[in-house]
Amino acid sequence: MTSLLILLLLFGLCAGIAWAAVPLPDPSTIRPVEVFRTNDYSEGAVVDYEGYLYISHEQIITRVSPDGQGTLWATASAPNGHRILPNGNHLVCDGDRHAVLHLDAHGNEIGVAASGTVDDLEIRLPNDLTLDPQGGFYFTDSIPETGAVYHVATDGKKTVVARNIDFANGIVLSANRQRLYCAESLQNRVLVIDLKAPGVPAGEPEVLVDLPANQEQPGTEWNQPDGMAFDAEGRLWIAHYGMKAVHVVDPSGQLLATYDGGNRLTSNLCFAGPRFDQVYVTGGEPGALFRLDVGVPGLRLLPPR
């Protein structure tokens, strides 16, 4: 086989991979399906290896089975953002405790993963977090005007990644670990932070996208981007509090689609399901866990077992 033919075959294979990218479904065809009713505001959607979902509401973390049965898994002062570590332990943001809590696989607190002061900043209201697949995690501190983003290394060392963010909220790390995305809720936008190493910013945050505003309920209360997640194609899915919406933007920040979030106060989301191609959404009004059957695979945070 000639070198030219080999090159043509490789090009064809690469092109085939590109052509096979999963397109976004038409928003008019996607209806939120209620999975579990809490009747109060919920947050922190996350999924474990077995397909069980965890949501935070009031002082409760509820574990929801794939068939929609909810059981009490843990209690905390004010649980919010939630991630599951590869070893099966959990990290949970707790604003009342001013800390990121470390829980075991059964919901028992086994320590504090982050609290106290970092440089000249005091950790006050941890809100959401994202894992670095090679170790460590990032989390947001949700303070108006002076919110911050922190990194915690595997040895527990804490660093300030960004500061003076007007209510830092949802946070996700790109698949290549080189870009960190943070919702700046009170400015109704998403910021991006380039990283030159884990926890080390390459510069100041930049605006990725300014999101649509609520024309019926003007004001920042009804225009707050919250939790976020990536799909396997590198598109960013954003829960938009007050807008009853989940937005999808491409890596350049172009708005590609908007889906019905189920809850008017759409708060957070994660990919889950047997094929990891369903989006589960938390929030308030009515206060339920909804499922969007989008057929788009999500970016997996947990490494394969």
Residue 164 resides in a domain: yes
Residue 8 resides in a domain: no
Q: How many distinct structural domains can be found in the chain?
A: 1
DSSP state of 48: -
Residue 5's H or E segment, with its range, is: helix 3-19
Cβ(61)–Cβ(53) under 8 Å?
A: no
pLDDT in tens, 195-225: 999 999 999 999 999 999 988 777 777 899 9
Share of the chain above pLDDT 70, in %: 93
Positive or negative: CA dihedral 244, 42, 49, 300: positive
Positive or negative: CA dihedral 277, 283, 285, 288: positive
Q: Report how far Cα 185 is from the mean position of its chain's Cα atoms.
A: 14
Q: Can you tell me the mean pLDDT for 272-287? A: 97
DSSP state of 264: S
Residue 14 resides in a domain: no
- pLDDT tier for residue 20 given thresholds of 50, 70 and 90: low
pLDDT in tens, 249-260: 999 999 999 999
Which residue blocks in 48-180 are alpha helix, DSSP H?
A: none
Q: Tell me the pLDDT of the chain averaged across its residues.
A: 92
Positive or negative: CA dihedral 214, 174, 267, 259: positive
Contacts of 241 (CB under 8 A, 6+ apart): 185, 222, 223, 224, 225, 226, 265, 266, 267, 283
Burial label, 50 (beta-carbon count in 10 A; 0-12, 13-18, 19+): exposed
3 pLDDT more than 60: no
Q: CA torsion 162→77→229→159, rounded to 10°?
A: 20
- Domain of residue 124: give its range: 25-292
Residue 300 resides in a domain: no
Residue 240: Cβ within 10 Å count:
27
**pLDDT (0 to 100) of residue 156:** 95
Residue 19 resides in a domain: no
Q: Report how far Cα 157 is from the mean position of its chain's Cα atoms.
A: 23
Pairwise CA distance, residues 301 & 305, whole Å: 12
14 pLDDT more than 60: no
Residue 297 resides in a domain: no
Task: Please tell me whether residue 16 adopts helix, strand or coil conformation.
Answer: helix
pLDDT in tens, 129-159: 999 988 999 999 999 999 999 999 999 999 9
92 pLDDT more than 50: yes
**pLDDT (0 to 100) of residue 304:** 73
Q: Report how far Cα 57 is from the mean position of its chain's Cα atoms.
A: 16
Q: CA torsion 224→82→232→23, rounded to 10°?
A: -40
**pLDDT (0 to 100) of residue 303:** 75
**pLDDT (0 to 100) of residue 1:** 36
pLDDT in tens, 288-304: 999 999 999 999 987 77
Residue 155 resides in a domain: yes
Q: What is the CATH number of the domain that holds 88?
A: 2.120.10.30
Residue 301 resides in a domain: no
